């Protein structure tokens, strides 16, 4: 079994900037989901 530390992911590719975030949580989730799908996760 792998050590749990080996399962960690680095999420430094982007950041949440409140001024650029959608005011709608549904729209924001849709954007994040699309980014994840586009990245091949």
| Banded pLDDT at 15 (limits 50, 70, 90) | confident
| DSSP character at residue 40 | T
Cα distance between residue 22 and residue 34, in whole Å: 14
pLDDT band at 23 (very low <50, low <70, confident <90, very high): very high
Cβ 18 vs Cβ 28: under 8 Å: no
pTM: 0.59
- CB count within 10 Å of CB 31 equals 13
Q: What DSSP designation does 41 have?
A: -
């Amino acid at each position: 079994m792998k050590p749990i530390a080996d399962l960690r992911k680095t999420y430094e590719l982007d950041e949440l900037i409140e001024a650029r975030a959608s005011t709608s949580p549904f729209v924001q989730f849709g954007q994040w989901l699309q980014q994840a799908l586009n990245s091949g996760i």
